[in-house]
Amino acid sequence: MSKEILMVAEAVSNEKGVDQEIIFEAIEQALAMATKKRFDEGANIRVVIDRITGDYESFRWWDVVGDDVLAELGTQFTTEEAHEKDPSLAVGDTFEEHVDNVAFGRIAAQAAKQVIVQRVKDAERELIVNRFKDRVGELLNGTVKKVTRDHIVVDFGDNAEGLLPREELVGREIFRINDRTRTILMGIRDDTRGPQLLVSRISPDMLIQLFRIEVPEIAEGIIEIKGAARDPGQRAKIAVKSKDARIDPVGACVGMRGARVQAVSNDLDDERVDIVLWDDNPAQLVINAMAPAEVGSIVVDEDSHSMDVAVDADNLAQAIGKGGQNVRLASELTGWTINVMTLEDAEEKHQQEASGIVESLMQGLDVDEDVAVVLVEEGFTSIEEVAYVPLEEMSAIEGFDEDIAEELRARAKDALLTMALVSEEQLTSTEPAEDLLGMEGMDQTLAYQLAAKNIVTMEDLAEQAIDDIMDIDDMDEERAAALIMTARAPWFEEQGE
């Protein structure tokens, strides 16, 4: 029997590629289960196998519990029962004794087989997870093992399989069994069939990794990939930057006669790839990303994180791209919202905005149109800018002097003060009720802000949803929820009565 155990451990270990220790533990567990069946009541059994000789010993053990506890039959001793075995035993100790070994026969072998199979599966699962857990985002080479209607199973060797869903394929790709393919590892999903490697061919990371393979300068760190955006199977844009001024990053990625970019394109079902020169200036980056369309003018709105890009009317279709593809990819690559328009539309929009600003300045500063137009032409877009611009900067405007500059700044500050007073008057026009003012978590400013929204009493607040008060200054969901629940507290008290 000892030799048979050693033979089983060695054979299974070699076949499944797992440590023999795991096999020994599985056999010990199986023998313990078989031994346990010999007892009518429950029993705690452990089996220890000598890893060298294959000999094994079986032990039964009991936990010692206090006399005031109802001991479980077969697995626990009261202190009185324990002292009959060994007077030195105390609560919390364990009493153990040898029992006869069960033979490693057919029944034990069958039980061991089941345990071994499960333990081997667990070990294989752990090996695969450990092998790939730090490789998410890497490019994997594999062989198509199975093709179904919903997905493709890719074999990566050593019992590791990847699941490639149909929606993660590029374009109209068709795969057959034994085809070689490259995929990007997106994550690991564990299920009853074992760990499943989730892979994709449409991720922007796929494009990046392919360029790392084809362009040595990227692998060496001389050229840096700053970002990528894809319309899988159709078109992609990738932004690159060189750390060496002597190397052209775009040329290096394109390669001699386009060989490098073509190799990447071929691997992605002839997906067209635009190489974009990265620029730390967002406006210039957007101009580069809009290629091959030529940008006539660009207006940056940092508040909305958007840009108005103007092009010639003849160039508009190219700038937008088929189905908005070009501008969409440029927007994804740069992280800016891009609004494409003709130069004529851009000029008209500028004129409308300028007219609105002129009207605002005329009313706010009580000046004529000529003065407001001069301010707009000098770059002023609001009364706040007029109020706080350095005096020397405004007095340097042609036709202005220090007296005019001081007068304009004074009028701007008066206008801002008037607007603030009007806002405060509107805010305080409705008085909050005493119960709202005295509510826990409430302050006077917040109470008046709520009152301005016709939320005057605690009852009014209790009837609100979180979204109804989220537009109040410095309000967040957690605070809104807490205030509403406090206001609703009387409801629950009434129900309790």
Q: Are the C-beta atoms of residues 382 and 353 closer than 8 Å to each other? A: no
Residue % of the chain over a pLDDT of 70: 92
Q: What is the structure's pLDDT at 218?
A: 92
Query: Domain spanning 133-200 has what CATH number?
Result: 2.40.50.140
- Matching residue, tokens 């008085």: 431
Helices (H), 268-368: 282-289, 316-320, 325-334, 343-365
Q: What is the structure's pLDDT at 223?
A: 94
Query: Domain spanning 279-380 has what CATH number?
Result: 3.30.300.20
Beta bridge partners of 339: 308
Q: What is the structure's pLDDT at 17?
A: 67
Q: Side chain identity at 201, as an amino acid letter?
A: R
Q: What is the structure's pLDDT at 71?
A: 84
Q: What is the structure's pLDDT at 259?
A: 92
Distance of CA 275 to the CA centre of its chain: 26
C-alpha triplet 407, 382, 398: angle, nearest 5°: 50
- The verdict on domain 430-496 having CATH code 1.10.150.20 is yes
pLDDT at 235 over 80: yes
- Across 166-194, average pLDDT: 84
Bigger pLDDT: 312 or 363? Answer: 312
Environment class of residue 218 by beta-carbon count within 10 Å: exposed (0-12), middle (13-18) or buried (19+)?
buried
In this structure, the number of other CB atoms found within 10 A of the CB of residue 289 comes to 29
CA distance 32 to 99: 11
Q: Kindly report, residue by residue over 96-149, the tens digit of the pLDDT.
A: 999 988 876 665 566 556 666 776 677 777 777 788 888 888 888 889 998 988
Q: 81-95, 300-314, 325-339, 381-395 — which is least confidently predicted?
A: 381-395
Q: Kindly report, residue by residue over 379-411, the tens digit of the pLDDT.
A: 777 777 777 778 777 777 877 877 887 878 888
Distance linking the first and last C-alpha atoms of the chain = 75
Q: Side chain identity at 75, as an amino acid letter?
A: T
What is the average pLDDT score of the chain?
84
Sign of the torsion formed by the C-alpha atoms of 375, 381, 386 and 391: negative
What is the band of 472 on the pLDDT scale with cuts at 50, 70, 90? confident
What is the band of 187 on the pLDDT scale with cuts at 50, 70, 90? confident
CA distance 195 to 173: 26
Q: What is the structure's pLDDT at 337?
A: 92
> Whole-model pTM?
0.57
Query: Domain spanning 2-128 has what CATH number?
Result: 3.30.1480.10
Q: Are strands 151-157 and 160-165 parallel, antiparallel or unpaired?
A: antiparallel
In this structure, the number of other CB atoms found within 10 A of the CB of residue 323 comes to 9
Q: Catalogue the long-range contacts made by 446-452 (C-beta closer than 8 Å, 24 or more residues apart).
A: 446/472, 449/473, 452/426, 452/427
Q: Where exactly are the structural domains of the chain?
A: 2-128, 133-200, 279-380, 430-496
